[in-house]
Structure 1
Amino acid sequence: MTLRPFHLAFPVRDLAEARSFYGGLLGCAEGRSSDEWIDFDFYGNQIVAHTGGESGDRASNPVDGHDIPVPHFGVVLTMEDWQALAERLVAAGTEFAIEPTIRFKGQPGEQATMFFRDPSGNALEMKAFADDAKLFAR
C-alpha cells in the first residue's frame, strides 16, 4: 500500500485563534482559506479548521496509566522533531492534557507522546518512535 496524506476537517470557535495556534505555534503552513475555513499543512497532511464551535467531547480512555482524550488527532514525528516541538510548546506555556513523556517503556511500540488542546478544545497527540518500524508493533 502506498502511504498518502490524510485529510481531516474539524470545528474551531475562531479562525484567528486557529491561525495563531496551528500556523504560529505549531508552524503549519497555511493553504487555501475563506471566511469560514483554513487549510493547514499538518506535517504533510491536510487539516481544515472550520468555524462551527468548540470540540464538545471530553471523553477519555485509560492507556498505560494516562487518561487519553477521545477523540484526538495528531502526527508521528521523528524523535528530533518531537523533542523540538515539545520544547517549543513548554516554552510557550502550553497546558498539556498529558505532559511530554515516554509511553510503553521497554515494550514493543515504545513511544514519546504528548497531548494538548487547541484553543477550541480539539485534542492533539504528537508522538515519535525511536524505531519507526515499531509504529504498528504489538
Structure 2
Amino acid sequence: MNTEHRPFHLAFPVDDLPAARQFYGEVLGCAEGRSSDCWIDFNLYGHQIVTHLDPDAKRHKRTNPVDGENVPVPHFGVVLTPDQWDALAERLQQHGTEFVIAPTVRFRGEVGEQATMFFLDPSGNALEFKAFANDDQLFATH
C-alpha cells in the first residue's frame, strides 16, 4: 500500500450548521478549522471535510446489499487502525449515536475482512468507518 497519501477534501451539504458543528466537533472529535455563516471546515483524521449549509438539501435514501446488510449510498468515512476504530466506536456509543449498521465485522474469515460501522450525521449524511487487521486487505481481490 502506498504510505505517502495526501489528505482528501470532501464538501457536502448539511441543513443545520450548529448541529453539524456539535456532531463533527464534539461527537466525532474533529478539530474545527475555518468557517463562515455558510460552511465549516473540519479535520477528519487528517482529511479536510467541509459542511456547507443547504437548508433545501434533499437526501435520497438508497442502499446496496453488502454481506447481508443494507449499506447506505452514498457514504464516506476513513479507514482507521483497529485501535482507532475501537476508540471511535466507544466514543459514538457514549454519545448515544444511533447506528444504521452497528459496529461489526464484515466478510469474517474472507479476503477483505473488516470491522465496520455506519451512522448518520444530523443532516442524514451516511458515514462509514472501517478497520482492517491487515491494511494490505484494503484493495485485495483474492
- Flag structure 2 segments of 5+ consecutive residues without an equivalent: none
- State whether residues 12 and 49 of structure 1, in contact with CA within 8 Å, keep that contact through their aligned partners in structure 2: yes
Alpha-carbon distance in 1 for matches of 2:135, 2:81: 8
Q: Is the 8 A contact 1:14 1:120 kept in 2?
A: yes
- Name the structure 2 match of 1:11: 13
Native 8 Å contact 1:9 1:49 kept in 2: yes
Mean CA deviation greater in 20-29 or 47-56? 47-56
Aligned AA (1:76): V
Q: Is 1:38 aligned to residue 40 of structure 2? A: yes
Which secondary structure state, in structure 2, belongs to the residue aligned with residue 133 of structure 1?
Answer: helix
Q: Distance in 2 between matches of 1:70 and 1:36?
A: 25
What SS does the corresponding residue of 1:21 show, helix, strand or coil? helix
Q: Does the aligned pair in 2 maintain the 1:11–1:55 contact within 8 Å?
A: no
State whether residues 12 and 55 of structure 1, in contact with CA within 8 Å, keep that contact through their aligned partners in structure 2: no
Match of 1:59 in 2: 62
Displacement of 1:55 in angstroms is 5.3
| Partner amino acid, structure 2, of 1:9 | A
Counterparts of residues 1-138 of structure 1 (less than 5 Å): 2-53=4-55, 54=57, 56-138=59-141
Structure 1: which 5+ runs fail to align? none
The count of corresponding residues between Structure 1 and Structure 2 is 138
| CA RMSD after TM alignment | 1.1
3-state DSSP of counterpart to 1:27: coil
If the length of structure 2 is used for normalisation, what is the TM-score?
Answer: 0.94
Q: Is the 8 A contact 1:57 1:71 kept in 2?
A: no
Alpha carbons 1:78, 1:128 under 8 Å: kept? yes
| Separation of aligned partners in 2, 1:121 and 1:22 | 13
> Do 1:55 and 1:120's aligned partners in 2 also have CA atoms closer than 8 Å?
no
Aligned AA for 1:60? Answer: T
Once residues 92 and 103 of structure 1 are traced to their aligned partners in structure 2, the CA distance between those partners, rounded to angstroms, is 24
